[in-house]
Amino acid sequence: MNLLEIRKQFRTTSGRYDLVNDDYSDNGANHFINEGVKWLDSKVDKKMIHETMDAWSSTELVNDTDTNFWSLYHVMVLVQAAVLQTFKTSGNKVMKRSFEEDLGEQLSSIDMDYIEHHIKHIDHMRG
């Protein structure tokens, strides 16, 4: 998904219609989406992302057609991370904790999938 599609999903998921205009142009949502990208990047091994993509492409989403690792491979994780950022700024500690726990589980699953993928390619033990 590109930034415009992520913004639409963010609006629907979060209910934050104030952050996305009726024509789906940005009215503050991009800030939370990009803060979500930064938060996710800080939680995962960048080696995993680098090996998944040809180059490190978890870049800031600026133009409506921009994509990055999260918007291409883990859309809902990105949307949830963006929603989490709104809870951080609003001081909603209960929802913040809930989203952090859920995202932590999803990121663990992503890490495990990455490890499983690499283990499949090992056909002997090194000694």
Judge whether 65 lies within some domain: yes
Judge whether 114 lies within some domain: yes
- Give which of 40, 21, 15, 30 is closest to 64, Cα–Cα: 30
Residue 34's domain comprises 3-120
The answer to whether the CB of 52 falls within 8 A of the CB of 118 is no
Q: What is the dihedral of CA 74, 79, 83, 88, to 10 degrees?
A: 40
* pLDDT tens digits along 74-100: 999 999 999 999 999 999 999 999 999
Tokens 């809870």: give the residue.
87
Judge whether 15 lies within some domain: yes
Judge whether 80 lies within some domain: yes
Element (H, E) at 127: none
Number of domains in the chain: 1
pTM over 0.85: no
Judge whether 61 lies within some domain: yes
* pLDDT tens digits along 28-80: 999 999 999 999 988 886 666 566 655 445 789 999 999 998 999 999 999 99
